[in-house]
Structure 1
């Protein structure tokens, strides 16, 4: 597995690279955003670990460009389609708004400095495992389509549409949407969602669930479509058209 680590604190970057290499990963290191961006678009990586604040080009900007959320058309090396390589942010920014902004930029996970090395390694393993499972499943000939009303999710290719409109969702938002579709028209608790999206080793604060749901709701209902994610106060969430929401 090949990892790109972009971190401007050289001592920290070299130390993390050494730890990751001891775990058997091949690691490329960049110490600023420009170098990190060049390596990203010129090579193929299984995981990107990005510091948020970087010289020349921030980690947030790199992620937004890769996910197609920012116009980077001036760089001819960038493919026309968005790149879905898993992204893990390393940052000292620890407010809920910062976490939402990072997830909304297309990041798959978020680790706040300072952190324990074993937690970093656990998150790296989880993201790499999830990425490889997605690639293997996408290679199957038979497509798996999940639908609710005018929304559909192609599980094999990890893309979602609403009324034919392509939804630009992060990996975690795709997994949340799939969970909702598989459990549609029934009550699910915040704890069930929490354990589906994160392993015990990852264990972010519980309010991150509400943040991810808010981001997903914003994207699948941005065109004025009927609401599909309903908050059942004190109980959890219910996914489906409101007409079927009775007695919950």
Structure 2
């Protein structure tokens, strides 16, 4: 039974989501603020954390930053009423793996939790080359087993979702991947044609991978998807 730490200051939302998660088969610890969330996380590490962004005192972003600073890599799903791209980027910058915008459908929350839990399972060793299964493209190097990546001599600080997205693009270097394929491989479901979710993640990944280097590897193929090219 997967364990979920749920931090949401709105009592009605907290109680309803906790009940829904329990019926879905999760063991839920529900708290009302960021201080309680950190205390619960320190008492016993959950399999996944669901954080409301806007909480009094210590908010969800601060909780996320503290856990990541402590080296905690537990998957984190953010609940937010903030729909602007900079607000979403703030969550990713804090170390969140995914987010859901309020008001949300509980089935969407379930789907995202399942996807995050699947990706949290250590990958099986792959049959690879003599370089220890590392993936290289231009000056990009990825170690899938250690979940580390470098651009030249610079190690990239990536969230779980950013790493998965970069690895997918690098494994298919030179191949244009359409939006539906990426959604299926990374999240396990398609957000629909109007979603900006993928664009937000690609934009943030570019800021970490391409902008400091000055030579773009990640390219947009308008109306289709994205591709990683060596030059």
- Identify whether the pair has TM-score above 0.5, normalized to the shorter chain: yes
Once the two structures are superposed, residues 103-149 of structure 1 have per-residue CA deviations (whole angstroms, 9 ceiling, x without a partner) of 232222111111122222222222222212xx2537x9x95311112
Q: Which residue of 2 aligns with 1:107?
A: 96
Aligned pairs (5 A) from 1:13-32: 13-32=14-33
- Partners of 1:184 and 1:103 lie apart in 2 by 25
Partner of 1:155: 144
Q: CA–CA distance in 2 between the matches of 1:117 and 1:52? A: 17
Question: Per-residue deviation at 1:42?
Answer: 3.5
Match of 2:217 among 228, 237, 242: 228
Measure how far apart 1:98 and its partner are.
Answer: 2.0
Please give the residue correspondences for 1:39-50 in structure 2 after superposition, counting only pairs within 5 Å: 39-50=40-51
Q: CA deviation at 1:220?
A: 1.1
Structure 1: unaligned runs, 5 residues or longer: 69-77, 243-248
TM-score (norm 2): 0.86
Change (3 A) 1:197 1:11: same
Provide Cα deviations, 1:222-248, integer angstroms capped at 9, x if missing partner: 433522112344554331222xxxxxx
Match of 1:209, SS? Answer: helix
Distance 2:194 2:91 in 1: 15
CA distance in structure 1 between the aligned counterparts of 2:40 and 2:210, rounded to whole angstroms: 35
Measure the CA separation in 1 of the matches of 2:191 and 2:118: 14
Aligned length: 226
Name 1:137's counterpart in structure 2: 124
Cα distance 1:201–1:232, how it changes in 2: closer, same or farther (>3 A)? closer
TM-fit CA distance, 1:59? 0.5
1:241 matched to 2:225? The reply is no
In 2, Cα distance between equivalents of 1:159 and 1:216: 14
SS of equivalent residue, structure 1 residue 144: coil
**Secondary structure of 1:122 counterpart:** helix
* Paired position in structure 2 for 1:215: 204
What is the distance in 1 between the residues matched to 2:98 and 2:193? Answer: 10
Kindly state the Cα deviation for residue 91 of structure 1 after the two structures are TM-superposed.
Answer: 1.5
Equivalent-residue separation in structure 2 for 1:234 and 1:53 (angstroms)? 35
Answering whether residue 193 of structure 2 is matched by residue 192 of structure 1, we say no
1:245 maps to none
TM-score by length of 1: 0.81
Q: Is the 8 A contact 1:145 1:154 kept in 2?
A: yes
Do the aligned partners of residues 12 and 175 (structure 1) sit closer, same or farther apart at CA in structure 2, a change above 3 Å counting? same
Contact 1:228 1:239 in 2 (8 A): yes
Alignment partner of 2:124: what SS? helix
